[in-house]
Chain A
Amino acid sequence: MTVELLKERLEAILGAENVLTEYEDLVCYSFDATMNVDAYIPLAVVLPETTEQIAEIVKIAAEEKIPLFPRGAGTNLSGGTVPVGGGIVISMCRMNKIIEIDEDNLTATVQAGVVIEDLINEAKKHGLLYAPDPGTVHCATMGGSIAECAGGLRGVKYGVTRDYVMGVEVVSADGDVSRFGGKTVKNVTGYSMTQLFVASEGTLGIITEATVRLIPLPESRRSMMAVFMDLESAGKAISAIIRSHIIPATLEIMDNATIRCVEETTGAGLPVDAEAVLLIEVDGFEGEVVRDAERIVDICKEFGAERTERADTDTERDSLWAARRAALPSLIKRASSTILEDATVPRSAVSEMLRAVSAISEKYGIPIGTFGHAGDGNLHPTILADFSRDGESEKVEAAIKDIFAAALSLGGTLSGEHGIGVAKINYMKDEFGDSGLRLMRKIKKALDPDNILNPGKLIPFDGGDVI
């Protein structure tokens, strides 16, 4: 089918203003937030407003075997929305209605293009919380965060997106619309199809609507900071906190390179000679929160914290977390290119992983700042690269490889929350071996026999094995 004809057919479904085929518009959908993945110009971009429109678009694509690339806010860090090889980008951003907040069942039903923070704000009006809060909470979409299974700062206690998705409406590769799951707390009817679409990165179906769990807003919270002069002690303190059966809402770490960077750009008053800073927040009922905060401070001191600080007022709390939120922006400002990794290890191995990363940084002579969600073992080693230097890409590539190998050898995983996309696809075999990959390929093939849904992402197909 010619582009003109394709355009005509898409326009018949969506109206001319919702089908983009001009080069200038296509450029704007050729990339996502991933630094080391090249942009690719799609054939067309569509901006649908209803599930029915998407079903119609998928039918055309299925008939003509045109690849489809679902896209939310395009903030993923694994090349998941780059339309590699060309095809139609389906932007979900105009499907942004919050359909319902159900206070009796503690659920929310949203269209896939709803921005996470909009849901959080709406839920708050009802005294409820939607807990997953990735760094991009103010712009990323519910659909994108479900398709990536996004995590966030509150992961330690509240889990990740997977733990909140109760039901989905999806358009499958043949254009059929199905609903799985719903508002019931219990549901064992059929396969766990809802969960299959979580973290599927747009390769199994297009999520058009979702029903998610809400929880009561915690009554009270306390934040604190602990400064450590060596990584070892920080690691031990993390394990001790978890072992003492206190589950903080948030337990974050910043290493020395990150601390220095944040201090340089914000002047927030962080200790630049510290090897690690832990930022911790507990929440719940007032009495419990006060007790837990005291115990955490005691544990940190016991394990050699140089000093601890408690944020008692909202302003103190805000400035403490502003420093953590400044981590990534500060690292970004420092280098011409930043590659944000996502290797994740069991929480007991956090200090080992941190040590491994600094060794890798030294080995290749590339600065790497590490910060992240220490409480759930999800670290973000951030490579500060300068690709204008000779041999830099090879070095970066080798460093990434070493980081993944270190994570896997510690019993960890390639990605805790940023997904595989194209960026990490070649490492999938290291984690799953042939048999694991074969099984996943069978699932993909069963749901998308012509490989039109986000092809080239997540599941590697060997040369002859492309479906």
Chain B
Amino acid sequence: MKIDEKILKEIETCVRCGYCQAYCPTYQATRHEGYNARGRMQLAKAVMNGDDISDLFRTRINQCLLCGSCSEHCPPGVHIPEIAERLRCALNEKYGLTAVGERMRKNITESGNVNGDEQKNRLLWLANLSEKYNVKINAKAEYLYLPGCVSSLYPSSYAVVQSFVGLLCISGTDFTVLGENELCCGYPLFIGGMESEAKSVARENVKCVKELGIDKIVTTCPSCYYMWKHHYPELLGEETGLKVIHGVELLAELCENGKLHPRELNETVTYHDPCDLGRKSGIFESPRKILTSIPGITFKEMRKNRVDAVCCGGGGNLESNDPVLSGKVSALRISQAAETGATTIVSCCQQCRRTLQSGARTTRTRIKVADITELLFKLCEE
């Protein structure tokens, strides 16, 4: 299999210490070494030089959440998520896409979004948004708001976009959305090992924003954020010249500047750090600042927080690749949230919200799951 020397060398740096067993969510959920960072690295090392690579190897690599929790604590600092991404690429090149990968490629490159939905449906969430909130579409504004595919197309996630838009309006922030012109950011392609497809999506997206003449992008999706901010310059070989921020940073600023005034909430709340926003991008304090500034709230940290936070189970396309495993990981995270005694677990990510909600349902845990936009909007809405 064709894989560059650098990655092979990197795989070799795993010293098999086994530390990652304490940090790898897929291992924690299964206690099976094949689902652990060390197992993945040693397996890769063993099969890499052979000609025939089995489906099971591919499955194991596709079961990685790319959450980076292992690397954070790995003594020699092996970059496991990058290795897994490269391996996915090499496997695709050699064996073609998996059925899940092919569907994703087709959806994104042909329909423009991850579900393969019609692009005009991207604005369905507007239908039941109160009329007092005025949303400009494809217009000149200070901020371009990109809700991302999941929040715009899954009705169960509309609340995220609706709440964020509501908050922008209440705070008097000037923004626009692209509506049916918004394309998937390409992150699922990138982490699915389809780098060249991801690159062309990146190019198109940057061009579209530049044409609109806006240079500030805000998104409520940590993956879009990470992709635009971190991978776009890398993929395109140059800085985009765009200022990309996550919604929670903007909300923290609006709260601090007195543009948003949340009402009292007498509840115990905990916070789940999304991998792409927290560990991978270092945004830990904005959401905590918002939550602790809400009057009446009791804020409780989970045992594993910030860089140590356990993935919700939705990373690395796992929900598509292996929904059962994804469910086991979210059940694990939900049990950690329940340990705090919180009645609500807040996150800053529509994907975390989805997976955690399903984790709470399957484990019959009495805990509400909310995106920070939702919680804040309820407390600020007049």
Residues of A within 8 A of B (CB): 20, 22-25, 27-35, 39, 47, 73-75, 91, 93-94, 96, 113, 115, 117, 136, 138-140, 328-329, 332-333, 336, 338
Contact = CB atoms under 8 A, between A and B. Distances in A.
Contacts of A329: 75-76
Nearest to A138: B22
B16 A28 contact: no
Contacts of A39: 42, 46
Interface of B: 12-13, 15-22, 31-34, 36, 38-39, 42-43, 46-47, 54, 56-57, 60, 75-77
Contacts of B36: 28
Contacts of B20: 139
A134 B34 CA distance: 24
Given A47-B32, A93-B31, A24 B21 contact: no
Nearest 7 CB-CB pairings of A with B: A329-B75, A28-B39, A28-B33, A75-B18, A138-B22, A93-B31, A24-B56
A23 B22 contact: no
A28 B33 CA distance: 6
5 contacts: A25-B56, A27-B46, A35-B15, A329-B75, A336-B12
Contact of B33 (A34, A91, A117, A336): A91
Nearest to A115: B22
B19 to A, nearest CB: 6
Contacts of B75: 328-329, 332-333
A332 B54 contact: no
A33 B15 CA distance: 7
A136 B38 CA distance: 15
A24 B17 contact: no
Given A75-B17, A138-B22, A336-B12, 15 more contacts: A22-B54, A24-B34, A24-B43, A24-B54, A27-B42, A28-B43, A29-B33, A35-B16, A39-B46, A91-B32, A115-B22, A139-B19, A139-B20, A332-B76, A333-B77
A136 B17 contact: yes
A75 B54 CA distance: 28
Given A27-B43, A31-B16, A35-B15, A139 B34 contact: no
A333 B54 CA distance: 32
Contacts of A333: 75-77
Contacts of B32: 20, 25, 28, 47, 91
Given A115-B22, A329-B76, A25 B17 contact: no
Contacts of B15: 33, 35, 332, 338
A22 B33 CA distance: 13
B22 A139 contact: yes
Contact of A73 (B18, B56, B76): B18
A350 to B, nearest CB: 25
Contacts of B12: 336
Find the residue from A34, A39, A73 having the highest chain B CB count within 10 A: A73
A115 B21 CA distance: 10
Contact of A28 (B17, B34, B54): B34
Contacts, number: 86
Nearest to A326: B75
A27 B48 CA distance: 13
Contacts of A23: 54
Given A93-B31, A329-B76, A139 B43 contact: no
B60 A24 contact: yes
B199 to A, nearest CB: 31
B34 A136 contact: no
B34 to A, nearest CB: 5
A343 to B, nearest CB: 20
A32 B18 CA distance: 8
Contacts of B34: 20, 24-25, 28
B71 to A, nearest CB: 13
Contact of A139 (B18, B56, B77): B18
Contacts of A140: 18
Contacts of A29: 33
A332 B13 CA distance: 9
Find the residue from B18, B19, B36, B57 having the highest chain A CB count within 10 A: B18
B57 A33 contact: no
Contacts of B38: 28
A328 B15 CA distance: 12
A380 to B, nearest CB: 14
A138 B38 CA distance: 15
A29 B34 CA distance: 8
Nearest to B58: A24
Nearest to B55: A24
A20 B18 CA distance: 20
A251 B54 CA distance: 50
A47 B31 contact: yes
Nearest to A32: B16
B50 to A, nearest CB: 10
Find the residue from B22, B56, B57, B77 having the highest chain A CB count within 10 A: B22
B42 A31 contact: yes
Contacts of B77: 333
A28 B57 CA distance: 11
A200 to B, nearest CB: 21
A117 B38 CA distance: 20
A340 to B, nearest CB: 10
Contacts of A113: 31
A36 to B, nearest CB: 12
Contacts of A73: 18, 21
A22 B56 contact: yes
B46 A139 contact: no
Find the residue from B12, B20, B21, B54 having the highest chain A CB count within 10 A: B21
A189 B36 CA distance: 43
A153 B34 CA distance: 31
A74 B43 contact: no
B64 to A, nearest CB: 14
Nearest to B57: A24
Contacts of B42: 27-28, 30-31, 39
